[in-house]
Structure 1
Amino acid sequence: MPDLLPALGPWLICALAAAVGCALQRLAGQGFGMVAAPVLALAAPEFLPGTVLLTGLAVGAGSFVADRSAVVTRDLPPGFAGRMLGAVIAAWIAARVVGTPALPLVVGGVVWLGVILSVAGLRLGPAPRVLFGAGTVAGVMGTLTGIGAPPMAIVYADVEARRSAATQNVFFAFGMAVSIAALTVAGLIGLRHVAFAATLLPVIGATLWLVRPWAVRVARGRIRPWALGLAATAATVLIARSLIGP
C-alpha cells in the first residue's frame, strides 16, 4: 500500500507552496496552481495531480464565498461548458502521462504556457464564444496540472479588479470540481490524494482568513509579477531536474 502522506520535509514545502498560492489566488483570482503544482511535482510528485486539484477546490470555493457579491453571473454558463469539455479531453491525456517521467515535463510546460499567456498582453473580453474557448483551454490545463487560471485571466484582464478576481475564483472552483470528477472516473484520484489534501486544508483555511483584510487594499498589478516570477522559477527548476536528473 503506498504511503498516504509524504515525509515531513516535503510536506512542509508543499504546505508553504499551498499557502503562498492560496494567498495569490484569493487576492488576484489566479496563482494557486501555478505555484503549488510545480513545487508539488518537485517535492511529492506521486501526489500529482489529484492533491493540487482537491486543495484547489477548497481555495477557489473559499475565495468565491468571500467575494460572491462581485461575481458576474452571466459569464458563467459558457465558461462552465468549456471547462467541462476541456476536463474530458485532459482526463484522456492524463491517463497516459500520470505516473510516467513525462508528467513533470507536462507540468513545467503548462506553467510556462500560463506565464507566457499571462504576459502576452492579449485583450479578448468576456464574450460567450471567448469564454467557452478559454474555459476549454483552462479545462485541459487545469485537469492535467491544477493550472487553469491563465486563459481566464486574459479574458478578465480589463475588468475591474474585485469583479475579475471573484468571477475567476468561481471558474477556478468549478473547474477544480469538474477536473476531480473527470480524474476520479479515470481512476487517477485515490485515498492518498484525499488524505494529503485533508492535511493541507487547515493551512488553506488559515491563509484565506489572514489575507482577508488585504483583499480590498492590494492592487492586482502589484501581485501579478511576484506570482509569475515564482511560477516561472519553480517550472524552470522542475524541467531542468526532469531533463538532467536530481
Structure 2
Amino acid sequence: MPVDIAEYLPPLLPWLACALAVTCGTVVQKLSGAGFGMIAAPIMTITAPEWVPGTILLLGVLIGIGAVLGARDAIVRSDLPAGFSGRLIGAVLAAFVASAVVGTDLLPVVIALIVLFAVALSLAGLSMPITPQTLFGAGVTAGIMGTLTGIGAPPMAILYSRVEARRSAATQNAFFGFGMIVSIGALAFAGLIRGPQIALAVSLAPLVPLTLIAVRPLVARFERGAIRPWALGLATLSALILLTKAL
C-alpha cells in the first residue's frame, strides 16, 4: 500500500513557516558559510517541534553539499581532516544527550539556549589561529551543538572570521555538510531519525536547490557583514520567543 506523505506533515501554516525558515536559512548559509541552523532551528521548534532536530539535519546535508559544489576550488582542504575528526567525536557524544532530551519539554529550552550561545559567540569578536588543535576543538564543539540543534557553525566561524570571504564560506560549508551527515548517522543510531522528520525534509527539499540557484548572482558581490546583523537579530528574536514559550 503506498504511503501518503501528507499524513506525516504538520498542518499548512506550520509547514509554510518551516518553508520560510529553510529558505532564509539557506540564503544565509550559502552567502556566509554559517547560519542555517540559527535561523531554522528556533522557528521550526516553535511551529513544528515534533519534527526537530532530524528535519534540520536532513536538509542541512542538501544545503552543505549544494553550497560546496558551487565553490569547490575555494575550500582549504588541508583544514578538513582535523575539523572532520572533531565533528565526528562531538556528534557521537551529543547522540547520548539527544536520547534524553529529544521529544521532551527540555528540547525547546536546549535549542533556545544553544541559539543564544551561538549568537553570543558570533558577536564576541573572538579570533583564534587556525591550527590542527583549534580545528579539532571547534569540530568537537560544533558536533555537539550541531547534533542537538542543527547549529554547528559558530565555532568554525570564529576560526575563519579573518579569512577571505569566499574561502571562508566554502570551507565552512564543507564542515557544515560533513557535520550534518555524521550528526544524522549518530541520531539514526540512537533511533531519533523517524518517518515524520524524513517526510517533512522531503517536502521541503526542493526549496534548497531553488534557493541556492536564486542566490547565486549575489555571491560575487556579497559582503559577509551586510547580512550578519539581520541574521543574528532574527535568530535572537526566535530563540527568545521559543524560550518564553518553553518556560
TM-score, normalised with respect to structure 1: 0.97
Post-superposition CA distance 1:187-237 (Å, at most 9, x none): 000111111101111111110010000011010011111111111010000
Is 1:142–2:146 an aligned residue pair? yes
- Letter of the structure 1 residue corresponding to residue 47 of structure 2: A
Provide the C-alpha distance between the structure 1 equivalents of 2:219 and 2:48, rounded to a whole number of angstroms: 31
Within the candidate set 227, 239, 244, 1:235 is matched to: 239
Matching of residues 204-215 of structure 1 within 5 Å: 204-215=208-219
Within the candidate set 64, 69, 74, 1:65 is matched to: 69
Matching of residues 114-129 of structure 1 within 5 Å: 114-129=118-133
- Letter of the structure 1 residue corresponding to residue 98 of structure 2: A
- Letter of the structure 1 residue corresponding to residue 136 of structure 2: F
Query: Match of 1:124, SS?
Result: coil
Provide the residue aligned with 2:169 in structure 1.
Answer: 165
1:136 to partner: Cα distance: 0.2
Q: Is the Cα contact below 8 Å between 1:149 and 1:168 reproduced in 2?
A: yes
Provide the C-alpha distance between the structure 1 equivalents of 2:16 and 2:163, rounded to a whole number of angstroms: 36
Provide the C-alpha distance between the structure 1 equivalents of 2:129 and 2:184, rounded to a whole number of angstroms: 28
1:165 to partner: Cα distance: 0.2
RMSD: 1.2
Provide the residue aligned with 2:56 in structure 1.
Answer: 52
Matching of residues 85-100 of structure 1 within 5 Å: 85-100=89-104
Is 1:77–2:94 an aligned residue pair? no
Provide the residue aligned with 2:200 in structure 1.
Answer: 196
Is 1:21–2:25 an aligned residue pair? yes
Q: Is the Cα contact below 8 Å between 1:78 and 1:132 reproduced in 2?
A: yes
- Letter of the structure 1 residue corresponding to residue 17 of structure 2: I
Provide the C-alpha distance between the structure 2 equivalents of 1:68 and 1:214, rounded to a whole number of angstroms: 17
Provide the residue aligned with 1:153 in structure 2.
Answer: 157
Within the candidate set 109, 120, 127, 2:113 is matched to: 109
1:151 to partner: Cα distance: 0.3
1:3 to partner: Cα distance: 4.4
Any runs of at least 4 consecutive aligned residues in structure 1 with deviations exceeding 2 A, and if so which? Answer: none
- Letter of the structure 1 residue corresponding to residue 179 of structure 2: G
Query: Once structures 1 and 2 are overlaid, which stretch shifts more, 193-202 or 180-189?
Result: 193-202
- Letter of the structure 2 residue corresponding to residue 164 of structure 1: S
1:125 to partner: Cα distance: 2.3
Q: Is the Cα contact below 8 Å between 1:62 and 1:208 reproduced in 2?
A: yes
Query: Match of 2:183, SS?
Result: helix
Q: Is the Cα contact below 8 Å between 1:125 and 1:158 reproduced in 2?
A: no
Provide the residue aligned with 2:228 in structure 1.
Answer: 224
The number of equivalent residue pairs is 243
Provide the residue aligned with 2:3 in structure 1.
Answer: none
Provide the C-alpha distance between the structure 2 equivalents of 1:228 and 1:126, rounded to a whole number of angstroms: 24
Provide the C-alpha distance between the structure 2 equivalents of 1:217 and 1:211, rounded to a whole number of angstroms: 11
Post-superposition CA distance 1:17-58 (Å, at most 9, x none): 000000000000011000000001000000011000000111
Q: Is the Cα contact below 8 Å between 1:87 and 1:140 reproduced in 2?
A: yes
TM-score, normalised with respect to structure 2: 0.97
Question: What is the percentage of aligned positions where both structures have the same residue?
Answer: 55
